[in-house]
Amino acid sequence: MQPSPLQAGSGRTLALVDKSITGHNRPAVEHFERCGWRVTAMNDGDRRGMRCDLLLLKGHARTFQQYARMLRGRADRPRTILWHHDPLLPPILAADERRALHELTAKYDRLDWIGSSLRWASASQLSWRSCIQAQHRLYRLSTRRHFIAAARRINQKLQEQGWPEIKYTQLRVTAECEHWIRRATSEGWLDAICMTTMHKQSQLLSMGIAGHFAPYGYHPGSGEDRGGDRPCDVAFLGAAPPGSSRQRRLEEFEKMLSRKGYTLKVVRSGCTGTERVDFLNRAKVLLHLHQYPWDTPWRRFVMGMSCGAAMVSDKLIDPRPFTPGEHFIEAEPRTLAEVLLDLLADANRRRAMARRARDFITEHFTMRQSVETILKAAFERTPGRD
């Protein structure tokens, strides 16, 4: 008989593997510990993870190359779960385009796995390691033109739909990620996959791979609505590199809002913890502009909603489980400025929407629920496993 997912801990060990092993992982760790698990945070390739009862790979799938090598073909491996946060390939790709990118990535993947296995080679192996690394660099250069050409074709389709363009590096990262998931699943050492959006879960299903929905949900550390004055009209929190479409759009929004007598405050990095909660409690509206038009980082929504800021966003490809118009406002890029101005002018509507959104995330979109989903996925019966 399988143990109940919420009673399965009882002192059993869980390895939480993430590139960033401190800070923002604390809420998830606390919920696993409440379920009886002894949690150790570690980096990719840490051999202690192979002795744990449950190995949770959290973040971008493509960053777990060493564990992929260590787990392949091991009968005594720990039960292994991927909690994937980042985008997959854009759904507007034609089948032949997707196949071509998979073939490119598969070739790159073989070299990258060799390179990662030699990362800590001894001095006597330095020449061989240098040779592999040189091949790795050359291969990246040789595939660059293919990804650039594919990005141009995709950008034409995105522009027809009014979306901002993407860079070839974004396309390459998503292709590598999707290939990693396909390979790990086919090799049989990945027991379950949890996705942070329902759209990515649907994308997995279209590839014939089962997945679970486990967002990085609300927890008390996400923020609080302090109920004070909000002197900042619109806030933006996130990366906006010089020359990027995000940066150009933010400049346009700033000029437009200034002409109408409103303010826009942009924070690109370094705003965490109490400082972030303070910042969002000063904002009436938190603005979301796509970086990947086919993916939604719900974490930014949770940050804003938990602090009582109304969310205004580029139109989402899949807003589930939220309801546009009830929990947030969305619009096509061409009309987003108009929608934003309408909401700023209607304080009652804005406050009511912010209250509904906060009530929703604290009840139906929580870290506790996501941890329960991950544990249920971990203890589902898997063919060939006890």
pLDDT tens, position by position, 101-142: 888 887 665 555 444 444 444 444 445 556 656 666 776 777
> Based on the domain organization, do 346 and 299 belong to the same domain?
yes
> Has residue 8 been placed in a domain?
yes
Residue 127: per-residue pLDDT: 59
Contact 46, 15 (CB under 8 A): yes
Average pLDDT, the chain: 87
> Based on the domain organization, do 169 and 247 belong to the same domain?
no
Residue 205 token pair: 């299903």
Residue 262 token pair: 């409103």
State how far the Cα of 83 lies from the Cα of 44, in Å rounded to an integer.
14
Residue 283: closest CA among 271, 294, 295:
271
Give the model confidence (pLDDT) of 145-183 as tens digits: 888 988 898 888 878 877 778 888 888 889 989 999 999
- Domain hosting residue 334, numbered range: 222-364
State how far the Cα of 41 lies from the Cα of 95, in Å rounded to an integer.
39
Question: Which residues, 6+ apart, have CB-to-CB distance to 242 below 8 Å?
Answer: none
Lowest model confidence (mean pLDDT) among 102-116, 147-161, 210-224, 329-343: 102-116
Q: What is the CATH number of the domain that holds 286?
A: 3.40.50.2000
Total number of domains constituting the chain: 2
State how far the Cα of 32 lies from the Cα of 53, in Å rounded to an integer.
13
Work out the average pLDDT over 200-218: 95
> Has residue 142 been placed in a domain?
no
> Based on the domain organization, do 2 and 44 belong to the same domain?
yes
Percent of the chain with pLDDT over 90: 62
> Based on the domain organization, do 353 and 379 belong to the same domain?
no
State how far the Cα of 340 lies from the Cα of 273, in Å rounded to an integer.
27
8-state DSSP, 95: H
Most confident range (mean pLDDT) of 57-71, 169-183, 335-349 is: 335-349
Q: What is the DSSP string of 276-332?
A: HHHHHHTEEEEEE--SSTT---HHHHHHHHHTTPEEEEEPPS--TTS-BTTTBEEE-
